[in-house]
Amino acid sequence: MSSKKRLDYAHSTAKIINFDNSSKFILFSDCHRGDNSFADDFANNRNIYFHALSHYYREDFQYIEVGDGDELWENLTFKSIFETHKNVYLLLKEFHTSNRLHMIFGNHDMVYKNPSYVKKHLSTYFEPVTGKDVELFNDIEYHEGIILNHTETEQQIFLTHGHQADWWNYTFWRWSRFLVRVLWKPLQVMGISDPTSPAKNYKELIKVERRVKKWIVKNKNLMTIIGHTHRPRFPEPGDIAFFNDGSCVHPRSITGIEIENGEIALIKWMISTSEDGTLKVIRVGLEGPQKLKDYKTE
């Protein structure tokens, strides 16, 4: 199956979410939440992420995770990840309870493609204080794609992780997971990166981006947002409408995409130093905001 057919399938089976200019979304991807071991790339930014997510919860944003939220190649089970980052998952539970949580699976959490696996591992968690199972993400669904459909302009925005344009990590994800667990995870502590990952291999990154752009052009420049490569992308109106929200495992910062007031923006959350020497988490605008209708094609 070609990357075109894989992207076509993700688009044709995507969940549709209607929105208007009063809707607010925050998109993060590639959190790669792990077990706080030396290989847990998320651990360094977990306080930044939690602070940012708390802000968006208070401001009534809907949260869309565009794949690879959980690192289930390096880690065998969700349980060890949950216990490490419990505060994060309890906050995500609040989004879910208020119907503001939308999840897309990527190659590193491809197991969530199976509803039975999701129901078994994510529905409840064991609370040691009470000695009972407690509801977590009851009835949650993971999708390969999501389409945001503007109810007034009928403009659509397609969201998917982007590994559909990466034949090795899509078709042979089980083999990639095996290699990561037995080979690259131990070598990571020595500074040796996985060469199959587009986030760590520039040539693969360019190939993935080229395939996604080609698909966008063939689909009448459909506004498309992915993750996977970890490289933030924010085009000018009139260019190929290819966006990437970056990742949550950048050194000392996380990047994401906000959609609010009919506009889209690329943002970064990072730790800054105040004049008195105290540290604080701040939000920085990188690109935009740009009106969504400026990317609309007839």
Q: Is a pLDDT exceeding 70 seen at residue 189?
A: no
The dihedral through the CA atoms of 232, 243, 195, 74 has a sign that is positive
Nearest to 223 by CA among 206, 240, 209: 240
Q: How far apart are CA 49 and CA 147, in angstroms?
A: 25
Phi, psi of 262 (to 5 degrees): 70, 20
Q: Is the pLDDT score of 170 beyond 70?
A: no
pLDDT at 167: 62
Mean pLDDT of 94-100: 98
List C-alpha distances in Å: 256 to 91, 197, 248, 270: 18, 20, 8, 12
* Cα distance between residue 34 and residue 41, in whole Å: 7
Query: Tokens standing for 129?
Result: 């204080």
Q: What is the pLDDT of residue 192?
A: 54
Angle of helix 202-218 versus helix 3-12 axis, rounded to 10: 60
In 3D, which of 255, 256, 266 has the Cα closest to residue 289?
A: 266
Q: How many helices (H) and strands (E) does the chain have?
A: 9, 14
Residue type at 265 in one-letter notation: A
How would residue 139 be classed by pLDDT, with cut points 50, 70 and 90? Answer: very high
Asked if 153 and 293 count as a contact pair (C-beta separation under 8 A), the reply is: yes
- Say which amino acid occupies 2: S
| SS3 at position 18 | strand
The domain segmentation of the chain, as residue ranges, is 3-295
Among 70-79, 83-92, 160-169, 178-187, the range with the most confident prediction by mean pLDDT is 83-92
**Residue holding tokens 């390969």?**
144
- For residue 209 the two structure tokens come to 């981006």
What are the tens digits of pLDDT across the range 246-283? 999 998 999 999 999 999 999 999 999 988 889 999 99
Q: Return the axis-axis angle of helices 46-58 and 86-97, rounded to nearest 10°.
A: 20
Query: Which amino acid is it at 51?
Result: H
For residue 106, what is the enclosing H or E element?
none
> For 8-39, what is each residue's pLDDT tens digit?
999 999 999 999 999 999 999 999 999 988 77
Nearest to 144 by CA among 226, 207, 24: 226
Paired sense of beta strands 24-28 and 62-66, if any = parallel
The string of pLDDT tens digits covering residues 100-112 is: 999 999 999 989 9
Residue 104: burial class (beta carbons within 10 Å; 0-12, 13-18, 19+): buried
Best CATH choice for the domain 3-295 from the list 2.60.40.1260, 3.40.50.410, 3.40.640.10, 3.60.21.10: 3.60.21.10
Of the CA atoms within 13 Å of residue 219, those in its CB half-sphere come to 20
Say if residue 258 is exposed, middle or buried (CB neighbours under 10 Å; 0-12, 13-18, 19+).
buried
Do residues 275 and 286 touch, judged by C-beta distance below 8 A? no
Average per-residue pLDDT for the chain? 90
- Label residue 298 by pLDDT band (50, 70, 90): low
pLDDT of residue 3: 84
> Over the stretch 34-67, which tens digit does the pLDDT of each residue have?
998 877 889 999 999 999 999 999 999 999 999 9
